[in-house]
Amino acid sequence: MFNFALRRLPFCARHDARRVTSGRSPLSFVPACVPTLVPALVPTFAPACVPALIPAFIPSLAHADSAIADATLPPVTISATASAAPRAVDPNMPASVETVTREQFGNWNVVNTEDVLKYMPNLAVRKRFIGDLNSIIAVRGTSNTQSARGLVYADGLLLSNLLGNSYSFPPRWSMVFPDEIQQVDVLYGPFSALYPGNSLGATVLISTRMPKQFEAHADVKAFTQHFSLFGVNQNFNGSEASASIGDRIGKFAWLLGVNHLDNTSQPLQFATLAKSGTPAKAGDTPVSGAYFYNNQTNTPTAVLGVNGEGIEHTVQDQFKLKMQYDFTPTLQAGFTLGYWHQTYNSRTSTFLRDASGNPVYSGKVAIGGYEYTIPAAALAPSLGHSENWLYGVSLKTRNATGWNGEALASYYDIGNSVARTASSGAPGNGPGTVIFGDGTGWKSLDLRTSYTPASPEAGLANHSLSFGYHYDNYFLENESYNTLNWRDGAATTFANAFTGKTQTQALYAQDAWRFLPRWKFVYGVRHEDWQAYDGSQARPGVALAYRDANQHRFSPKASLSFDVTDDLTLRASIGRAYRFPTVSELFQGQINGSSIVNNNPNLQPEDDLSKELTAEWAHWNGLFRFSLFQDDVKNAIFSQTDTTVIPNVTNFQNIGKVRSRGVETSYQGQDVFVRGLDLIASVAYTQSKIIANVQNPATVGKYFYRIPLWRANLAATYHIDERSAVTLAARYSGREYNTLTNTDTNPDVFGGTSTYTVADVRLTFRLTKLSELGVGVDNLFDARYFVYHPYPGRTFYVEAKLHM
């Protein structure tokens, strides 16, 4: 691989190559027939002016250049083929960018796609177990429950689930399997006009590979952990198998992959009750087996058993087909079909036993001479399944210089979604509820064009231009019914429902202007038109419809950089971003009796002003980055309690102002200190505080929810020889709070959010040119740490790969 050859060059040479290599921006869409097709592609509810404006953004085809660029991704990365090296990100990107390549994460313990981000600077992924559906990115001043403050793309296809803003709406990582990834770039902050305000936290750009000749791959993994906490002391095991096959025949390339994951998690949640001070009464059932501990607020608490999400057994199957066709050396069409099916079964158990040894699940019981009332649903199990489809088509040019363009459309369809929960924890097929989410999903359309100067003699020689139009539409359907058999019974009586849609359209323009040999000014603006409509809630005999909402916002951006030397660059960036409310923040809820329990249809968009000062220095066979950043977010959207009304109301609300400021230092290098040692290291400090909050004044001056003061990551890979490598890695997360009032003074327990240090290790050995074996351990010292839920214990991996 090209990248492997580079690793033995002096880093200054590689850094200079990185700085001058042009990451093609795929703002492309230029065939003569396309302008006539655009009005048909633009949704009928787009403004009437948009189809007419699109041709103005689409230049005529530039003549084919003898030097053809690699296939491109949204504006900052380039897809590499199986035998080509990942290309550097666009040097005109007005933000800090961190990159991890296939060669690097190939020596880590990676099972799910999100694992490739585990050592990125000032970034963490809330992954509670292998196969966790709720893996959310946390970065800088964005917590691991603010899922709508992050964007994830795979080859330009939007994987971000912007139907909501919590752990329940993670990116659809499972539409990409790790073996197809070539490179991942993380863009920090909302400094590029090419991305919506959801980039407030970070934008993750996944580049996948396509074959240049026939290839076939097989990968099998097995993993196990031992977990001990309260009344659980056992092993939990899992496995994953994947295979892919592909080829390039003339102008046509294809890649087909399948993946199967089967895993059982450690207990994720326990049933608890505050320690009672009420003496037991006659008729209370004496029980034994309860555990006691001081919870996150140092309140004595009884642990009754495993409940809620319980011990989750998940089975996931994935199918992925990608095809590309080169009409000409500079015009390429692509098609992606992704399928992902998932089933889960959350098993619960009670620790309580009566005098005869029978399990006890509910009712009035006596524990240690005191009375406790256990709700019927305290230990209730759940199960469910979902079926997801991803469709994507693209058409783009690949000129090395001059004008390029791209048209890209995608549709994500949750075609079948069922979640079932029992009404009680007692064994059997008793009553419960069933929730249907069929008909939920999103669709998007991007039309882009860009200009890259060829030489100082060419027109617009000092300007790299980008223009584009974006459209997305998110739609949510949720219906809940009662059932007599919670496991597989038919829906009987209607309970409640909510539905709603959001739509965003945007026009943007950005210019990178090199006005002096060492000075560059990147400036742009994005205009967004956001609508929320068809929002409603219902219960039997009652329906409530919400008024439609509409917002328009301009988001200006600017960045000034100066190349002090060939190895040192300074950059100052500023950008405004608006993060609009999601469907569930606006409309999700239910009607109980005469009271309405809902989120907030009157939410205002988050208004962020981000600033960053960065220095990048190529030295010691690597690249150092030092960044100072500050985010001032007005009208931050978060679920909190309004204490100024009686009774108090808890729902999604606008918090007046949250300020996050901090510093990041990072380093990536090869042949560090000794030949063969590659290093990724970072340390970051973030202080995120609530500045104004009229609806809950007690939170003002407090640290914001789940933003650790310190983060540090380290991954050191030593290439023993050309066939073997060993990796030692560590992840550290400092003090953070699980409440806006910072009352959780005992964080390192179930229900709290821990400070932790976790060490990982892996040995990779290439048996032959076609086979590879890997063994590794995550959480080497079996740290017990929590993100409310327990994280996994020490986990062992073994992996075998075959290639053709």
CATH no. of 215-275+285-803? 2.40.170.20
Rounded Cα gap, residues 553 and 577, in angstroms: 9
**Residue found under tokens 């009409």:** 327
Strand bridging mode 363-367 / 285-286: parallel
Helix, strand or coil for residue 180?
Answer: helix
Residues 225, 654: Cα–Cα separation, whole Å? 41
pLDDT (mean) for 27-34: 32
Q: Strand, helix or coil at 728? A: strand
Query: Is the N-terminal amide bond of 647 cis, ω within 30° of 0?
Result: yes
Residue 89 main-chain phi, psi, to 5 deg: -70, 165
Q: What phi and psi, each to the nearest 5 degrees, are found at residue 748?
A: -90, 45
Assigned token pair, 758: 């976790």
Q: What integer is the mean pLDDT of 450-471?
A: 85
Structure tokens at 450: 């860009």
**Pairwise CA distance, residues 130 & 236, whole Å:** 11
* DSSP track, 663-686: EEEEEEESS-SSTTEEEEEEEEEE
Q: What is the pTM of this model?
A: 0.88
pLDDT digits 0-9 by tens, 378-432: 999 999 999 999 999 999 999 999 999 999 999 999 989 999 999 998 888 899 9
Strand partners, 654: 637
Q: Cα separation of 66 and 646, whole Å?
A: 72
According to CATH, the topology of domain 2-208 is Ferric Hydroxamate Uptake Protein; Chain A, domain 1 (2.170.130)
User: Residue type for 325, please?
Assistant: Y
Quote the CA–CA distance of 7 and 678 in Å, as a whole number: 9
pLDDT digit string, tens, across residues 309-366: 889 999 999 999 999 999 999 999 999 999 999 999 999 999 999 999 999 999 999 9
* CATH 2.40.170.20 location in the chain: 215-275+285-803
pLDDT in tens, 706-737: 999 999 999 999 999 999 999 999 999 999 99
Q: 161 phi and psi, to 5 degrees?
A: -95, 85
Q: Where are the beta strands (DSSP E) in 676-785?
A: 677-692, 710-719, 724-733, 756-768, 771-778
Provide the token pair at 408: 């890209």
CB proximity list for 4: less than 8 A, separation 6 or greater: 103
Domain with CATH 2.170.130.10 in the chain: 2-208
Residue 334 backbone phi and psi in degrees, to 5: -140, 155
pLDDT score at 760: 98
The number of residues making up the chain comes to 804
Confidence label for 597 from pLDDT (cuts 50, 70 and 90): low
Q: Which residues of 158-189 are buried (b: 16+ CB within 10 A; e: fewer)?
A: bbbbbbbbbbebbbbbbbbbbbbbbbbbbbbb
Q: Identify residue 226 by its one-letter amino acid code.
A: H
**Do 227 and 267 touch, CB atoms closer than 8 A?**
yes
